[in-house]
Structure 1
């Protein structure tokens, strides 16, 4: 049976689901609001809960509103509108600790469809979403029934297939070292107490001196944005983060010497 026919869930025309809206989202520069409307939304937020006939509003990667009635301002805001009648919307990333009741405070819950959080969600037919785990299982067991998988505000899956231009996961395996000649992050980073000296070389290698003990740790490193990952020659992984002119790593705050 073609997915453009009536399928096993009784939902017709999966392939053409909100095709015009998808084109508008893909051409959006991130400043135009996007509204998924008329859905049952399982927010996983203990205060907001599940809302029937509700709307989800986001701008870029930021979720800005959830609940009924947001559709009334869609025209004023020139929002892209995605009709989700008969659909359920759930978080695309699940906080299993929260699912098991292991969070003591609402503020500790992560990956909920709460205004202010990242725009990561899944849209499936309502009958496939008795709960959040069931809805997410659809992504694995019945991917052709997924109407939308949105990551940081950008469609990854739409109408059961990969969305055009979707971001893909990097290939598994340790990458080759990059040539960092000329990088402003190459050099010797020294912590404020002069205990740790970490030299980053242009060939993607690091060499640490600790308390005057040379070559305490040595290995390879990779920089992705403001994140640095280390693979020590002993076999363990570690990471750090560049914050302005500082490098934060394992409790140390370093600056270029």
Structure 2
């Protein structure tokens, strides 16, 4: 059955779907667990596989349980319950290499619905979810058919519509440079072997000296939390990460000089 064939059916079924549960989830500031129950779950985990009539339990961004029978403790734990009868739950982050059999170890798989993973998943009608790929295609091409899309434990789509106050992606394009005067991360960063000197200036520019060769690379940079992104004047992108007063970049570990 195609998405077009089921548009009227699924749209009617989505109207008002678990509206009370959504309100509870959005107002959940107490860390209450959330349980999606009575679902078919395509975990994309090679050990767990596909589950039917199963439950998915999470607390905030952490997925803590998957499988049948979890609903029995819902009352004990004061869980918010979302009935998913006739629906399939799939990972919202898809590991294409793993699905194609390209991961040698289960622990290398990402984007699975495995306890301990990040709570990123989608809920779509069974008829539109023959497998993970077809279910994810619904999210991308027909979001009005999606019962729920949850990112790090917070709903993004619900009953085919945007959730009020949902997170939104940053605007596409290169942002304007910020004035970083006074930032503790502005200055000259030097690696342990004194080979790489990377100067970050307050106007959002960087200038690298490598092995005594000045201006080896120059360009713009942006800092977002502990991440730094570089756009070199030659056109390529790179990144680094600030960890415990160190700057890790391309295998180098630097400290402020």
The TM tier, using the shorter chain, reads over 0.9
- Aligned residue number for residue 142 of structure 1: 142
Offset at residue 126 of structure 1 (A): 1.1
Offset at residue 7 of structure 1 (A): 5.8
- Aligned residue number for residue 235 of structure 1: 235
Offset at residue 15 of structure 1 (A): 2.4
- C-alpha change, 1:227 and 1:233, in structure 2 (3 Å) is same
What are structure 1's unaligned runs of at least 5 residues? 1-5
Partners in 2 of 1:207 and 1:237 — Cα distance?
A: 14
- Aligned residue number for residue 65 of structure 2: 65
SS in 1 for 2:168: coil
Offset at residue 141 of structure 1 (A): 3.3
Partners in 1 of 2:159 and 2:221 — Cα distance?
A: 39
Q: Does 1:128 align with 2:131?
A: no
Aligned length: 252
- Aligned residue number for residue 49 of structure 2: 49
SS in 1 for 2:9: coil
- Aligned residue number for residue 3 of structure 1: none
Partners in 2 of 1:212 and 1:30 — Cα distance?
A: 55
Partners in 1 of 2:190 and 2:30 — Cα distance?
A: 39
1:30, 1:59 within 8 Å by CA — same for their partners in 2? no
- Aligned residue number for residue 177 of structure 1: 177
* TM-score for the superposition, normalised by structure 2: 0.94
SS in 1 for 2:8: coil
Offset at residue 40 of structure 1 (A): 0.4
- C-alpha change, 1:213 and 1:148, in structure 2 (3 Å) is same
2:10, 2:125 within 8 Å by CA — same for their partners in 1? no
Partners in 2 of 1:230 and 1:168 — Cα distance?
A: 23
1:33, 1:57 within 8 Å by CA — same for their partners in 2? yes
Partners in 2 of 1:198 and 1:118 — Cα distance?
A: 34
Offset at residue 24 of structure 1 (A): 1.1
What are structure 2's unaligned runs of at least 5 residues? 1-5
Partners in 2 of 1:62 and 1:37 — Cα distance?
A: 17
Query: Pairwise CA RMSD of aligned residues?
Result: 1.4
SS in 2 for 1:214: strand
Partners in 1 of 2:25 and 2:186 — Cα distance?
A: 39
Offset at residue 12 of structure 1 (A): 4.0
1:196, 1:209 within 8 Å by CA — same for their partners in 2? yes
- Aligned residue number for residue 248 of structure 2: 248
SS in 2 for 1:110: coil
Partners in 1 of 2:120 and 2:156 — Cα distance?
A: 10
2:11, 2:145 within 8 Å by CA — same for their partners in 1? no
Partners in 1 of 2:184 and 2:76 — Cα distance?
A: 46
Partners in 2 of 1:89 and 1:71 — Cα distance?
A: 16
Partners in 1 of 2:210 and 2:26 — Cα distance?
A: 50
Partners in 1 of 2:50 and 2:38 — Cα distance?
A: 13
- C-alpha change, 1:169 and 1:30, in structure 2 (3 Å) is farther
Offset at residue 72 of structure 1 (A): 1.0
Partners in 2 of 1:75 and 1:206 — Cα distance?
A: 56
Partners in 2 of 1:212 and 1:253 — Cα distance?
A: 17
- Aligned residue number for residue 26 of structure 1: 26
